[in-house]
Amino acid sequence: MALTDVERDLRAIPAEKELLQIKLLRAVAHATDNQVPQRVIAKNLAVTQPEVSRIVKKLRLNPAARDRSPREVLLEHAAKRIDHDRMMAELIAWDYTFGHLAEDDPLGESYVRGTWDQIERSRDLLGDDDYRVLLAATADRRAQANAR
């Protein structure tokens, strides 16, 4: 089902909000990498110092948050920052990692997410046809990952 222009406009707003959060996170990362004190970061971002501290902790626990991700590409398309062809080209070419059970978990209960999981969890941003194209484009890579 194709989205109407109004629906696309509405869906752009939450995508923009999430992209803004990514931008905030990366701004804090850049500032802390450059030894800017948290109180200065907080003042310039108009947030509290404890909020900056929470962001720094989030970055420490998830260093990959600094990097571009498939979810970010999907959000940029939803926010109308990139067109459909650019989104699909980037997602097809993505060097995905695939989720797996943690090797250091003797019970096999800890799942380590890969970047492909972002595609699986972002179906609200990706149409069925595009999802099928990505499945086909990554079939060999997914099979190799599952064979390990």
Distance in angstroms (rounded) separating the CA atoms of residues 89 and 91: 6
pLDDT, residue 3, reads: 66
Per the prediction, the chain carries an average pLDDT of 90
Is residue 1 scored above 60 in pLDDT?
no
**Going by C-beta distance under 8 Å and a sequence separation of 6 or more, which residues neighbour residue 55?**
24, 25, 28
DSSP structural state of residue 66: G
Distance in angstroms (rounded) separating the CA atoms of residues 89 and 67: 18
Q: Which has more confidence, 121 or 113?
A: 121
The answer to whether 15 touches 7, Cβ cutoff 8 Å, is no
Radius of gyration of the chain (CA): 18
